[in-house]
Amino acid sequence: MSNYIGVDVGTGSARACITNKNGEILAVEVKDISKQELQLGFITQSSNEIWDAILDIIKRVIDISNVDPSSIDGIAFDATCSLVVFDKNSLEPIAVGPNFDDSNQNIILWMDHRAASETDLINSTNDKRLKYVGGKMSVEFELPKIKWLKDHLSPETFHRCVFLDLADFLTYKATGKIVHSFSSAVCKQGLLPTGVEGSKLGWSKEFLEKIGLEELSTNNFEKLGGSINLKEGNFLIPGDLVGHVDKKFAGLANLPNHCVVGTGVIDAYSGWVGTVASDVSDRVCSDSPQELNKIEGSLGRIAVVSGTSTCHIVLSKQPLFISGVWGPYRDVLAENMWATEGGQSFTGALLDNIIETHPAYQELERITSRQNKNIFVYLDEKLEELRVNRKLDSVFYLTKNMFIYGDYYGNRSPLADPLMSGMIIGQTMDSSINDLAIKYLAACEFIALQTRHIIDTLVTHGHGITAIYMSGGHCKNKLLMELISNCCVLPLVLSKYIDSSVVFGAAILGSVAAKINSMKENKLEYSLNDVLWSQMKLMTPKGTLMMPKSEKSVLRKYLQAKYEVYLDMIDTNIKYRKKMEEVYK
């Protein structure tokens, strides 16, 4: 039986899973990885540390699964959209600052915000390619980071630099081939696929000159992977066949030489691959049964990949332009399909912040430690206790007079306003655990209301959203899931692999590469989109379906009122900020 491995590199850990051909996860292994912040906003990692961790967890996941290593036919990688820098001559890592004295720290992490002024410069050009990233690039994208490095490295050092997205770097380490995924190049670096806005080469010499990165256009854009038409296969769609594993990698990871590597993908997009083909959705997500066997069967299914932050990804047949929402990106998940990505920068982190900064937090820790109970389980029980004591029909009504606007880290979508900040209305002198529990619930409510705001914005601009496919840590939070389903008035599908949907998506991409390799060896024609969707349908297990309450329910009316307050809080936040700015004019 064929087996496949997926590898996911997140912000704080690397994870590997092994699955069989039916999508059953046989084993998962995780290893922590470190990050360094020597200066506020300068956050780096080590590619050597990450690669060593990957070799370790691949070997361990094979061992504990008890599968025959020779049965592993495919592997693929997903990772955060972080920038890896190394020397084109020696292939050794190059230090990325801020002090440039540790070459081992050669990754600028996705959440590094050093390149704010470089981002402003890029956005000031109003170049046509900015239309395809929601109107402007984010400080978290990779092109501003490259511009920052040019401005702070010596010309000689910058000339030697090779720049790779982390997922592409891992693919390179596994195969010895430098191949760029459309996922990273289009979403984070400014590539326009052939035909988009008349693009022929992918990159624009004029644009690079305007932002002071003219060096990147030399030798046919060599530093960026070359032009799209330079050679076949230098830019690939996720899951497409890169090649066989490098012999060195195969030996170190205990993989067979026949194992093939699929093109990598940004981690959130791997979450889309690992969730949206769940069969439970057929009766709620499509009016066209014949499309269920094609990639078009994914249309209207929005993947919500949750964790410290949350991403919202959906496909469309045509480009849909939405200010403040990333995309539309062509070919980043499927050929000639367009992806749109919304996002919340501060979701899991918001819940942690609300809980850990409350005066009753230490008491909460003592109680849960004594009872050997998870904090979130305890808070759910406390909320139910308060509901009973106050004779309420639902725990959600406990927040009637508590309003939290939780953009503590700025707004990614749909406002794309980094200056948005947090607000709390309804504060009293209460500093008890009861108050902590209610504020926690109000923070969950905010996450759900903002999810509706993002989805409403997508629908207004042409997306037909029919169901939410949820993965990540938030799936364990039943109250939050109920809030999201009822706020958005949509069916919500909880992934079976709550904590492993992203790495599972990478394993599916490994299976796609293996399938393509087999078809090529047998000289069979194939469509990459058909292979991708068929493998997703074959391997993705059924999830748990959660339906919203009826339109006449009190909860729906309650959440509608809350949504109107939420929108008013946004307007008020912006209004107050502008009023104070006028003082200094």
Give the tens place of pLDDT for each residue, 75-86.
999 999 999 999
pLDDT at 290 over 80: no
252 burial via Cβ count (<10 Å: 0-12, 13-18, 19+): middle
What confidence score (pLDDT) does residue 291 get?
60
485/302 Cα distance (integer angstroms): 13
CB 78 within 8 A of CB 11: no
- The predicted-structure confidence for 303-317, as pLDDT tens digits, reads as follows 999 988 899 999 999
* Sign of the alpha-carbon dihedral angle for 220, 221, 223, 225: negative
Q: Of 240, 204, 201, which is closest to residue 527 (Cα–Cα)?
A: 240
Structure token pair of residue 62: 């094979």
Is the pLDDT at 364 greater than 70? The verdict is: yes
Question: What are the CB-based long-range contacts (under 8 Å, 24+) for 425-432?
Answer: 425/569, 426/401, 426/402, 431/358, 431/359, 431/360, 432/360
Q: How high is the pLDDT of residue 585?
A: 82
pTM, full prediction = 0.94
Across 62-71, 223-232, 550-559, least confident range: 223-232
Q: How confident is the model at residue 285 (pLDDT cuts 50, 70, 90)?
A: low
Q: For residue 371, what are the contacts with CB-CB under 8 A and spacing of at least 6?
A: 378
Using a 10 angstrom Cβ sphere, with 0-12 exposed, 13-18 middle and 19 or more buried, the burial of residue 558 is middle
Domain boundaries 3-262, corresponding CATH code: 3.30.420.40
Percent above pLDDT 70 for the chain: 97
CB atoms within 10 A of CB 422: 17
- State the average pLDDT for the chain: 95
Once rounded to an integer, what is the mean pLDDT over residues 111-115? 94
Q: Is the pLDDT of residue 57 over 60?
A: yes
- Residue 484 CA to residue 488 CA, distance in Å, equals 6
**d(Cα 474, Cα 476) in Å, to the nearest integer?**
5
Q: pLDDT tens, 446-496?
A: 999 999 999 999 999 999 999 999 999 899 999 999 999 999 999 999 999
Phi-psi region of 450 (alpha: psi -120 to 50; beta: other; left: phi over 0): alpha
> Out of 250-259, 291-300, 364-373, 397-406, which region has the weakest mean confidence (pLDDT)?
291-300
H-helix or E-strand spanning residue 353: helix 348-356
pLDDT average, residue stretch 412-440: 96
What's the pLDDT at 564? 99
Predicted pLDDT of residue 324: 85
* Phi, psi angles (nearest 5°) of residue 58: -65, -45
85, 163 Cβ separation under 8 angstroms: yes
3-class state of residue 481 by DSSP:
helix
The pLDDT value given to residue 418 = 85
Burial (CB < 10 A; 0-12, 13-18, 19+), residue 59, is: middle
Cis peptide before 98 (omega within 30 of 0): yes
Parse the chain into domains and list their residue ranges: 3-262, 348-450+549-583
pLDDT tier at 273 (50, 70, 90 boundaries)?
very high
Q: Where are the alpha helices (DSSP H) in 233-319?
A: 247-253, 267-273, 282-285
Fold designation for 348-450+549-583: Methane Monooxygenase Hydroxylase; Chain G, domain 1 (1.20.58)
Q: How far apart are CA 162 and CA 147, in angstroms?
A: 13
Joined together, the tokens standing for residue 87 give: 């020397």
Exposure letters 235-249 (e unless 16+ CB within 10 A, then b): bbbbbbbbbbbbeeb
Q: Which residue has the tokens 């495919």?
A: 74
Sorted by sequence, the CB contacts under 8 Å of residue 109 that are 6+ apart come out as: 11, 35, 43, 44, 45, 80, 82
Quick check: 79 and 170 in contact, CB under 8 A? yes
> Taking the CB of residue 121, how many other CB atoms lie within 10 A of it?
16
Question: H or E stretch including 74?
Answer: strand 72-79
